[in-house]
Chain A
């Protein structure tokens, strides 16, 4: 697919902008702080309903304005559709597809698909586990938008369960008082009732956690060879980039998963429930849920060493890039359609060889949007159509 036209209103530094685009490669050049990333961020938002730079929506709305609008005309298989998002910080955002309003904003997911690589992605290698989990889950949503709902449910159930663990801790530890007996039923102590409630949330959590974990493992299994290949291409075979899933389940299961096995869904479900039972005392002591997809990580290794803490800056950068390129190939393969590839400020950080090889890798993508502060950093064959961005003015250059 490709974005044929982008319109923004009160988005970031732009009071308004109209940007016609074409398939193939387009490069935005301009000095720092002129608004290059703002443009591609808007396209990324259409695809994921979130920014790759900030977690809250407020900074996306032009300072002093009340709401931002992003509108994109996207063409897929020769058919054009119009996707529009209204960003209302503090209130619900709204989405329109071909001018008609959608009941739920998230129903717009899947209309625009992008893979965006930006300096922030260095955190995939150097940052917390949450960065890597987020990468997997975002990719799940990009593949199948229904995962957005499952993710939301998981977070909500987790909050409920954590709230219960905190509030019921004294009772669960067995210091609760005996409740007044109920006629016709056995006496139920407060502790038993709290345990029943905990069991209920265990069931609820496992019901959503098992499919989420299963989906992540299958995703990683599909992604691993693509990552190996992408890293190999960027680095010209310097070393092996590998990924392994680190699970919070019990040791035996965690070891199988780390080995790349994808257990059956039922087995994961049962294992989750058993692990909950095993760590119950600890969970009650600490007041948080210690097992589940929210505690997992993806371990990245380069050659024999972990990437985190060992890889050089350029290697880390290339690893993050490899993950994104692998995601691109996965989506391209599954959907039979190229996502829009966005490369924000990538070239400045790579050595000459890596730049050339990356250029060769992306040459056949349906649409590639590149930003660079220094034009000379972008290999000449990628410069394609060039736009100069100066103080929020975007002008085509011949």
Chain B
């Protein structure tokens, strides 16, 4: 244990994902030895991200104003929604330039082990978006792993009978993987070859 402020910093850093106690200590001492300006830049970035960045009221992607860049873009096709788990998946799919519609970010996947059920995700917000009847196609692009598949099939069940075309990204994506790590070509191809999903 260290003196107050240092230990507080180590504790806070240790709470970050992927940072163990050892790394937390290393980062804390690195900061301690850094120039005050450098530390100030980091502090500013942290403050800014909380102050400026929020979640898009439409799709729950990260946004700098009420709506994200994509939802605010009038050229995007309003009839199709691509459902993903995380904001990083939006970035991955945007890189392929295959998709011209809008997104819906669920905020994760159904995983009872981690205590995540449908209520913890933005399913209801998605239903609200569909209420206007404008949307005719939903593309489910959850991760190609067990939890992603379960989430996709939950969604498909939910949307059944609403007269919306539901497709799932074609495999070719590495099974057991994360969408964000798929290269553009693979992901682009998966988009082209998406298949109808029956609930």
- The residues of A with any CB-CB pair to B shorter than 8 Å are 149, 153, 156-157, 159-161, 163-164, 167-168, 179, 182-185, 190, 193-194, 196-197, 199-201, 203-204
**Do B113 and A159 have beta carbons less than 8 Å apart?**
yes
Contact mask B83-127 → A, CB, 8 Å, 1/0? 000000000000000000000000000111101011100001001
State the Cβ distance, A209 to closest chain B Cβ, in Å. Answer: 13
List chain A residues, Cβ under 8 A from B112.
160-161, 163-164, 167-168, 197, 201
Chain B residue at minimum C-beta to C-beta distance from A153: B146
Known: A163-B112, A164-B117. 11 other contacts (CB 8 A): A159-B113, A161-B112, A179-B119, A184-B132, A185-B127, A185-B131, A196-B154, A197-B117, A201-B112, A204-B146, A204-B153
List chain B residues, Cβ under 8 A from A203.
153
Chain A residue at minimum C-beta to C-beta distance from B115: A167
List chain A residues, Cβ under 8 A from B130.
184-185
List chain B residues, Cβ under 8 A from A204.
146, 149-150, 153
Instruction: Determine the distance from Cα of A156 to Cα of B111 in the docked complex, in whole angstroms.
Output: 11
Interface footprint category on B = 20 to 34
The 7 A-B pairs of least Cβ separation, nearest first, read A184-B131, A163-B112, A164-B112, A163-B113, A200-B154, A185-B127, A200-B153
List chain A residues, Cβ under 8 A from B115.
167
Instruction: Determine the distance from Cα of A168 to Cα of B119 in the docked complex, in whole angstroms.
Output: 12
List chain A residues, Cβ under 8 A from B153.
200, 203-204
Instruction: Determine the distance from Cα of A190 to Cα of B157 in the docked complex, in whole angstroms.
Output: 16
Which of the residues A156, A183, A190, A193 comes within 8 Å of B131, measured between beta carbons?
Answer: A183
Instruction: Determine the distance from Cα of A204 to Cα of B142 in the docked complex, in whole angstroms.
Output: 15
**Do B127 and A197 have beta carbons less than 8 Å apart?**
no
**Do A196 and B158 have beta carbons less than 8 Å apart?**
yes
State the Cβ distance, A100 to closest chain B Cβ, in Å. Answer: 19
**Do A197 and B146 have beta carbons less than 8 Å apart?**
no
List chain B residues, Cβ under 8 A from A153.
146
Chain B residue at minimum C-beta to C-beta distance from A180: B124
**Do A182 and B127 have beta carbons less than 8 Å apart?**
yes
Instruction: Determine the distance from Cα of A18 to Cα of B115 in the docked complex, in whole angstroms.
Output: 50
**Do B157 and A196 have beta carbons less than 8 Å apart?**
yes
List chain B residues, Cβ under 8 A from A168.
112, 117
The answer, yes or no, to whether B147 is at the interface (CB within 8 Å) is yes
Could you list 23 A-B pairs, sorted by A, with CB under 8 Å?
A149-B176, A157-B146, A160-B112, A163-B112, A164-B112, A167-B112, A167-B115, A167-B117, A168-B112, A168-B117, A182-B124, A182-B128, A183-B128, A184-B132, A193-B117, A193-B118, A194-B117, A197-B110, A197-B112, A199-B157, A200-B150, A201-B150, A204-B153
Known contacts: A156-B146, A193-B117. The answer to whether A200 contacts B110 by CB under 8 A is yes
State the Cβ distance, A150 to closest chain B Cβ, in Å. Answer: 11
State the Cβ distance, A206 to closest chain B Cβ, in Å. Answer: 12
List chain A residues, Cβ under 8 A from B111.
160
State the Cβ distance, A87 to closest chain B Cβ, in Å. Answer: 22
List chain B residues, Cβ under 8 A from A190.
119
Instruction: Determine the distance from Cα of A242 to Cα of B54 in the docked complex, in whole angstroms.
Output: 66
Instruction: Determine the distance from Cα of A57 to Cα of B118 in the docked complex, in whole angstroms.
Output: 37
**Do B146 and A160 have beta carbons less than 8 Å apart?**
yes
Known contacts: A161-B112, A182-B124. The answer to whether A196 contacts B118 by CB under 8 A is yes
Instruction: Determine the distance from Cα of A128 to Cα of B151 in the docked complex, in whole angstroms.
Output: 35
List chain B residues, Cβ under 8 A from A200.
110, 150, 153-154, 157
Chain B residue at minimum C-beta to C-beta distance from A171: B117
